[in-house]
Structure 1
């Protein structure tokens, strides 16, 4: 799907919530979090903890309604003005519309319905007035042929906050604020047990949050690729990535055990108005929320009119929506200072959103094959004009990339390239195993970062690319399991040659395809680094195994290529 396209049909919303599996990192702060949450929840007992209290009781099932035979009633004609409003503001708009509808009239002239903006944007039949929860949806709808004109300023505003049970507020919020980069840091260091986000293609909160995450990571580095890697790190750590904020709040409201709420839902972005509505009710698990200081975003509610709609009636409706009523409903009547400006192009907003939505959560088994031949010592100039080497850029990109892999990943790393006449085709640098397992006193993730940070190519070393790939695929074939994706990720800046293992591309592909086993698939994700990389050979090996190849012809684009490779492994 290109950046200019928008799905014409949206997946059905989830009707049920299933408790996600608990991840290993949750145990790290479990004891401290339990104490904090129990203190905040007030009325909980240690007996609940001993009995392993789990998720709340299921919502009661409504009794069946007996069928009643009634005389036929003529259907109402099309209303004079149909209005689609974001669900959280629909009650306010419906009350305003009621002042324009004569009482007791079965077919009122103004009809208001609650509808998520993503659904309205993709609909063929369009309402006369549309009040979405962000002006961004208007440009999305325009690309799909639904043009609306905006009448005046937005009628309401609501910032996005990061919320969680009050008992852990001190863990993620400092001095009344939070940060997206702090959320990423907490995710990678296992400071937070659970982070939940909405689907950015369905939810305004999700769309704005993903934009804010990318804006925040862009401020941490001048390298756009590394910024993308850092943003994707948060995506790779989400417990749930398609949770509707309103349903999360409803689910949280049914919780009776604060500890379960922390581990099953944890931290999540939500509108200030939605959080206020939750806080008005005395739930067993109280919530707190704070704005992210490094990427403030805000839902605004434009009053948009479709061409051909009754403008006079629309103007009357807008006039009936008073500022006191807006404030009483928990919204702000003026925009918040310091919020991020959204890109004018919906493609720039939707690009990162699609990456998040299309990312597949799966167990990942990967072997990294890193070219350590002498050519990696060649000098280069990055996009900021700083001098360095290919190896120095690899070190910077690799350290960030090591954070991407989830805690259920099994991983190993080899270098290939040898200057010795009878040297091996590859050297094991980090032995294969669980990323959270211990290697030489460090977790395997830390060992990857340490080894990549100390990466030094061998001068005058050849490039036994083909033999290293054959060996790597054969090794990983023995690790294949039905519940995980198994891949070999290859990064090289050259072509096969300069070693005793040299072979023709035809001979290599023949060996590669001959060794394939449909019952034990191993895909190759290849990154060609620099203008001398043999992209033809890399594309051939990727195609032969159902993988993908990416070019980073400019060495400064290496991190972006690594991000593409990572996404390819999780979207194919």
Structure 2
């Protein structure tokens, strides 16, 4: 290289490698010698390093430099085009994926079968549909069939897993006393705030939600002779849910991340799941341990049918079905047979979907209610109830007091008036429970307890008149003043007769005209009117219900007040 040449321009700094302009020849020679010595030292050091990196037989551990291969490395064949699309419930999807992997061609790194883990309800809302579907309940196939879809099952379900109610062991004595759970116990625990939290998944998306709501309604119906109360008791749980749309997998992910049982009890709480999912979580050895069992008042199985859509690749679908062994299914925690005595979901999909839609569409709004209770003398009359007992109307009302008080959610504000006067000029009504939040106190007692006590000690006034119409007008006016956009505001009136016997008596036509004239579409106050006994003026009650967008109910049962409240609650919350 001449004195005027630049070093390789790829070097980081040219000035460091260029020769000084007036370097004498001797100095230059010394520089070259020094450079040669440096080169020899580097070569020697390199040789030592190379020997240190050599195997005992002298062969190098690795090449000192990455020389390009003389021939390309062999690669696995590309993935074949997907020929069979499979959708499976998340908990059984790994079993299906393993079976699909076993069907790979020799040397193939992936299968021509694509498996997706997806909740059953989501399959029905996406297109295109899979070729093979393994939902977590045959009920989903019936729902799809009602929509005109054709699915053919191949053999018996792959497995079964009963629904269980589960939660952290730290609170197991509350939701599972003596290791036993029940749907009605779950409702009571939530209603009485004995459980820190309750979660369920959307019944229109997941099987635990769909079958859980079905079993819950069956349990509450068996515990009550009144359909309205049974529905309301089921929705009482819905109103208390910490999360009404959480997916089961998310619950277990959250639990797995927790280290403290107390925190998990409040953050996650109690929830329905499948036995298989609970077992899989327990076997993973997480720090927060769970407890759970199948509800004694409503056992129901998740089953896993293998269904093939019309037009799907039949031969490949059959091969996949054959590759899913019973040992693999039971090894994953599923049962080989159905649970003896388990509830069978209704064959008609609509009977299953009706409660599910009501549950899913529930409106979480504040509930404001004013109870108007007839305290006139006619409530002392004797009647025969549905059970054949000869009792007074008043005694039937007293029997419903405790039940009625428990039906209101924590978001409720309420008040109660009695109407009936023994003298012509007396007040049409008296306030027995002041209006306010049910969680607050009234006269030194929790408002819920005071309501129950008042109804339980109810005594009609002998020979009192019935200022029904004036009381309804006053009650509607009172609640219209309290109406707000974020709350459902209603008046529930219970009476056994017609308006009369007081100075404020008016005709039905006059009453309905005044009621209609006071209506305000921006602040609706529907009237839920419950007519007690054969003498109740149902025509008047139906008129006031129609004028306000409410409902009229003919009643003769100890639970009729509670039934009226249930009707109001369901109407207000989208039921």
Query: In structure 1, what is the equivalent of residue 338 of structure 2?
Result: 335
Query: In structure 1, what is the equivalent of residue 454 of structure 2?
Result: 451
**Which has the larger Rg?**
2
Unaligned runs of at least 5 residues, structure 2: 1-77
C-alpha separation in 1, matches of 2:454 and 2:169: 40
After superposition, give the CA deviation of every residue in 1:106-135 in whole Å (9 maximum; x if it has no partner).
995533322221233455643332211112
SS at match of 1:343: coil
**Equivalent pair of 1:230/1:400 in contact (CA under 8 Å):** no
C-alpha separation in 2, matches of 1:391 and 1:240: 40
C-alpha separation in 2, matches of 1:243 and 1:527: 38
Structure number with higher relative contact order (C-alpha < 8 Å, ≥ 6 residues apart): 1
Residue 367 of structure 1 and its aligned partner are, at CA, apart by 0.9
Give RMSD over aligned pairs. Answer: 3.1
Give 2:132's match in structure 1, choosing from 129, 137, 142.
129
C-alpha separation in 2, matches of 1:203 and 1:348: 17
Matched, 1:462 2:470: no
**Equivalent pair of 1:135/1:301 in contact (CA under 8 Å):** yes
Give 1:140's match in structure 2, choosing from 138, 143, 146.
143
Pairing 1:350-361 to 2, within 5 Å after superposition: 350-361=353-364
SS at match of 2:231: helix
Query: In structure 1, what is the equivalent of residue 424 of structure 2?
Result: 421
Query: In structure 2, what is the equivalent of residue 298 of structure 1?
Result: 301
Matched, 1:118 2:125: no
Residue 200 of structure 1 and its aligned partner are, at CA, apart by 1.8
Give 2:318's match in structure 1, choosing from 307, 315, 332.
315
Query: In structure 2, what is the equivalent of residue 551 of structure 1?
Result: 553
Query: In structure 2, what is the equivalent of residue 206 of structure 1?
Result: 209
SS at match of 1:487: strand
Give 2:231's match in structure 1, choosing from 216, 223, 228.
228
SS at match of 1:339: coil
**Equivalent pair of 1:550/1:564 in contact (CA under 8 Å):** no
C-alpha separation in 1, matches of 2:147 and 2:227: 30
C-alpha separation in 2, matches of 1:309 and 1:369: 63
C-alpha separation in 2, matches of 1:437 and 1:275: 39
C-alpha separation in 1, matches of 2:84 and 2:532: 58
Matched, 1:367 2:385: no
Residue 389 of structure 1 and its aligned partner are, at CA, apart by 4.4
Give 2:476's match in structure 1, choosing from 455, 464, 473.
473
After superposition, give the CA deviation of every residue in 1:260-298 in whole Å (9 maximum; x if it has no partner).
332232111112222233334444433332322222222
Matched, 1:189 2:195: no
Residue 544 of structure 1 and its aligned partner are, at CA, apart by 4.5
Residue 348 of structure 1 and its aligned partner are, at CA, apart by 2.5
Residue 530 of structure 1 and its aligned partner are, at CA, apart by 5.2
**Equivalent pair of 2:170/2:262 in contact (CA under 8 Å):** no
Query: In structure 1, what is the equivalent of residue 176 of structure 2?
Result: 173
SS at match of 2:436: strand
Pairing 1:150-165 to 2, within 5 Å after superposition: 150-165=153-168
After superposition, give the CA deviation of every residue in 1:207-252 in whole Å (9 maximum; x if it has no partner).
2222222222333344444433433332332222222222122223
Query: In structure 1, what is the equivalent of residue 248 of structure 2?
Result: 245
Pairing 1:478-517 to 2, within 5 Å after superposition: 478-516=481-519
After superposition, give the CA deviation of every residue in 1:499-535 in whole Å (9 maximum; x if it has no partner).
3222234433443355456665544333445565555
Inter-CA distance 364–229: structure 2 relative to 1 (3 Å threshold): closer
**Equivalent pair of 2:169/2:261 in contact (CA under 8 Å):** no
Deviates more, 1:467-476 or 1:249-258: 249-258
Query: In structure 2, what is the equivalent of residue 563 of structure 1?
Result: 566
After superposition, give the CA deviation of every residue in 1:313-357 in whole Å (9 maximum; x if it has no partner).
333222211122112222222222332222222233223223322
Query: In structure 2, what is the equivalent of residue 17 of structure 1?
Result: none
How many residue pairs match? The answer is: 497
After superposition, give the CA deviation of every residue in 1:186-209 in whole Å (9 maximum; x if it has no partner).
223322122222222222111222
Query: In structure 1, what is the equivalent of residue 270 of structure 2?
Result: 267
Inter-CA distance 346–243: structure 2 relative to 1 (3 Å threshold): same
**Equivalent pair of 1:205/1:271 in contact (CA under 8 Å):** yes
Residue 552 of structure 1 and its aligned partner are, at CA, apart by 3.0
Using the size of structure 2 for normalisation, the TM-score is 0.77
Matched, 1:439 2:442: yes
SS at match of 2:573: helix
Residue 457 of structure 1 and its aligned partner are, at CA, apart by 3.5
Inter-CA distance 205–378: structure 2 relative to 1 (3 Å threshold): farther
Query: In structure 1, what is the equivalent of residue 98 of structure 2?
Result: 95
Unaligned runs of at least 5 residues, structure 1: 1-73
Matched, 1:84 2:80: no
C-alpha separation in 1, matches of 2:564 and 2:232: 10
